[in-house]
Chains A and B, each alone.
Chain A
Amino acid sequence: MGKLFSKQTSILTRFIFKREWVKMIIWIGSIVGVTVAVAAAFTGLYSSEAERQGIAQTMDNPAMTAMLGPSVAIEDYTFGAMFSHEMLLFTAITVAIMNILMINRLTRLEEEENRLEIIQSLPVERNTYLFTSLLLAFGLNSALALLTSGSIGILNIESMDWNGSLLYGVTLGATGFLFACLTAVFAQISPSSRGTLGLSFFTLGFFYLLRAIGDVTAEWLSLLSPLGWVTRTETYVENKWLPILLIAIISLLFLFISFWLHAKRDMQDGFLPERKGRIEASSLLHHPLVFIFRLQRVTIFSWLIGLFILGVTYGSVLGELETFFESNDLLKELLTPDPEFSLVEQFLGILMSVIAIIGSIPPIMIMNRLYKEEKIGRNEWILTHNINRTKLFLSYLSLAIIVAVLSIFFSIIGLWIASVGLSTDPLGLDTLILSGFVYLPAMTVMLGLATLIIAFKPNILNSIWMYLSFSFIVVYLGSLLQFDDWLLALSPYGNIPKVPVEEISYSYLAILVGLSLLLYVVSLLQYQRRDLKG
């Protein structure tokens, strides 16, 4: 290892910051903004202790534990306890995603696109660039931690003291930096930036599920997951700093591993092998739909497997829920306004809304690829062959819709298998299919918005992810906080009937389908006539 701090390090730091500051501000701004807005909203929504206690009762069950982590202060559900229980884990995951994307963009993508090579030909140490990237990640996470702590602290909400607020912010920042270091390790192991993203997101998902299963069944599993440590800070209740120390130690460990691996490998190389491909195109590769599928098949399969596992996890949690429910008479009364349906069936709709939103990610990714290919100039080339824009557009759209259907299908199968295997009174496959597929029209509307952006304003392509995140927040918090219908209507997922509890409104679903078709047609017409970018 050479000298880490030098004149070059500071020039390089400023250079990278110049490229990244807009993205950094958007990320930090949105995270801090949502956090503060929710904290402020809580005080208005649940001003009386009785109301908070009522919410606490609905939170204290295995399904919610699997989703949010254990509820540590159910007997005394203060604003602080409620806020950290419902917000900390998902905000930490958002911060982790920000770090994964940023470190991959700064390190492996930079290397893959040959930009690192030019920088490395200048008088800088071989590890300076990696060091600078992690230094910036550290700065970003620190800024996030301080801004979050400061802005919650300043609200001066009862039961949310400065110590707790500081811990809340630091937990977010520390988790972020942990995932930055982890991504840096994967950036050395994997031979590509796609591989780095794949490994990092897979690990994030794995940690989440490990914690979910652990929190419900065996706590030691949660202790193996950094996301398990996040909820164990018991922010605003006990304010434990020990998990932060653990996160810091593991981050440092990953940091050293990444530097060590970095020193051992050649540029553009990784430790995982790259397979040789086939010499000739398969006979199926003639249709653009198949070609587009071939380009993205690893991503598609990974997502479908991931959704299946998500289904299995939720399915096994539902099994637990049943046992829990049977043993608690008080809850039975509190939570069964409609005796016709079991508690499991009442939760099914909420789970499906989460599945539908996560399941919307792969179709949107597939659709966005249309513009990414265009930007690199590859569509231009494809379009000089015997294929027109309409066919290209429709091929991407068809694949996206097929994958949307498969996303729901795979999660449902996962849910069903776990439910049949674990429960004495398993959910019927027909109920599951119905409760899942009512979300399909919402997913196609979301996809329609993606096509609209691609056709009209492709330079804001990433805003679709912001809207999807917004939808998640609305649906997620909406189901926890019983939002009004108009607020839910801001997201296509918000007012989808929760089957089997709610009646299916076919006219509403038909409106969504019609809206999707309209969006597709308008987008296609514009896509046919606009200039290609490149």
Chain B
Amino acid sequence: MSVIELADISKKFGKFTALDAVSFNVEEGEVFGFIGPNGAGKTTTLRILLGMIQATSGEAKIFGKDVWDEAIAIHKRIAYVPGDINLWDNLTGGEVIDFFLKMQGAYPSTKKEAMMKRFDFDPSKKCKNYSKGNKQKVALIAAFSSDADLYIFDEPTSGLDPLMEKVFQESVHELKRNGKSVLLSSHILSEVESLCDKVCIIREGRVIESGTLSDMRHLTRSTVRLSTRKEINDLSEWIGVHDVKKENDEWIFLIDSDKWNSFITRVSGFDVEKIESHPPTLEDLFMRHYQDDGGDLDG
């Protein structure tokens, strides 16, 4: 069953088109990565999903319910952690966490104490004295302590230290084990890579790539390092081979995923000394999309 269904969602702010026919589905029990450069429309998409702004056209549903008309019913079953967190200066972290849990109807929470311990968090301080990372912890602890079915995270670890980032990842794994669904918008591609079953890349308000990581990898080229005892002269002419460079007697190039077979057959005649290949990282995939389109990273 799909937890989130987004079909042809467009959003215009005046003449500016922020989202242009964005579609994707998040299935139950799935951890879904949502990535894209600054200003691509990630937060706008999340705000539509949370029923805070209304889509110009298209249909968005969570748990099969319309995100705008049935926001309350949906919000009872979701937990949201924003990326840019401001809290109430004169309240303590503990008070704010309890407020969130009460509003959700999840108070008292059995998980709260454990979560505070796990994130090494001191709830007795006033919010104005927390650093960015600690403010994020307030929202993360409230979210992980609630008993939601869908968790929406908007760049949740941008202020956390590596140790806490790991705690976050473990907590997401735990959600997954319990069959919960997660939508994770992030800039930290290694995090998305290690956590997510499926990924959607958005740019200038359009989805440009969507699917499982292995699917995506399949469509793209792997990097190969090769050294042979017999000299190859015409490597760049071979079928499926691109961007050939030579570094200390070692060839470095890209190869199309579906041309491996013919390549192996041919290269075996050159007395291979060493061959290393690694599949593209999410970062490679991400960067390639921009370089292909003229390399404008600001989107």
Residues in chain A within 8 A of chain B (CB atoms)? 2, 7-8, 11-12, 15, 18-19, 22, 113-115, 117-126, 266-269
* A122–B104 touching, CB < 8 Å: yes
B residues sitting closer than 8 Å to A (CB atoms) are 13, 47, 50-54, 71-73, 75-76, 78, 80, 82, 84-88, 90-91, 95, 99-100, 102-105, 139, 152
Q: How far is the CB of B256 from chain A (nearest CB, A)?
A: 42
A-B contact pairs, 30 of them (CB 8 A): A2-B72, A7-B105, A8-B103, A11-B99, A11-B103, A18-B95, A19-B90, A22-B90, A113-B86, A117-B52, A118-B80, A118-B85, A118-B139, A121-B75, A121-B80, A121-B82, A122-B103, A123-B73, A123-B103, A123-B104, A123-B105, A125-B72, A126-B51, A126-B71, A266-B52, A266-B53, A266-B54, A267-B53, A268-B53, A269-B53
Residue among A2, A7, A121 with most chain B CB within 10 A: A121
20 additional contacts (CB under 8 A) given A22-B90, A121-B52: A8-B103, A18-B91, A18-B95, A19-B90, A113-B86, A117-B47, A117-B52, A117-B82, A118-B100, A120-B51, A120-B52, A121-B50, A122-B100, A122-B104, A123-B72, A123-B73, A123-B75, A123-B76, A124-B103, A266-B53
- Point out the residues of chain B lying under 8 angstroms from A11, CB to CB: 99, 102-103
Q: Which 8 A-B pairs have the closest CB atoms?
A: A121-B80, A266-B53, A123-B75, A122-B103, A267-B52, A123-B76, A113-B86, A123-B72
A121–B50 CA distance with the chains assembled, in angstroms: 6
Per the bound structure, the CA–CA distance linking A122 and B79 in Å amounts to: 8
Contacts of B78 in A (CB 8 A): 121
> Roughly how many angstroms separate A269 CA and B56 CA in the complex, as a whole number?
14
Closest-by-CB residue of A relative to B146 is A122
Which of A12, A22, A124, A267 is within 8 Å of B75, CB to CB? Answer: A124
Query: CB-CB < 8 A to A2: which residues of B?
Result: 72
| B-side contacts of A19, CB under 8 Å | 88, 90-91
Q: Which residues of A contact B139 (CB under 8 A)?
A: 118
A284 to chain B, nearest CB (A): 28
CB-nearest residue of chain A to B54:
A266
Q: How far is the CA of A123 from the CA of B80 in the complex (A)?
A: 11
- With A123-B105, A126-B51 in contact, is A115–B99 under 8 Å at CB? no
In the complex, the answer to whether A115 meets B71 with C-beta atoms within 8 Å is: no
In the complex, which residues of chain A have a beta carbon less than 8 angstroms from the beta carbon of B91?
18-19
Q: Which residues of A contact B99 (CB under 8 A)?
A: 11, 15
- Minimum CB–CB distance from B2 to chain A (whole Å) comes to 20
CB distance from A482 to the nearest CB of B (A): 43
Q: Which residue of B lies closest to A115 (CB)?
A: B86
> How far is the CB of A391 from the nearest CB of chain B, in Å?
28
Partner of B87, one of A18, A115, A267: A115
Interchain CA distance A19-B84 in the complex, whole Å: 21
Q: A114–B80 contact, CB under 8 A?
A: no
Q: How far is the CB of B137 from chain A (nearest CB, A)?
A: 14
Tell me the complex Cα distance, A521–B50, Å. 53
In the bound complex, CA of A119 to CA of B50 (Å): 11
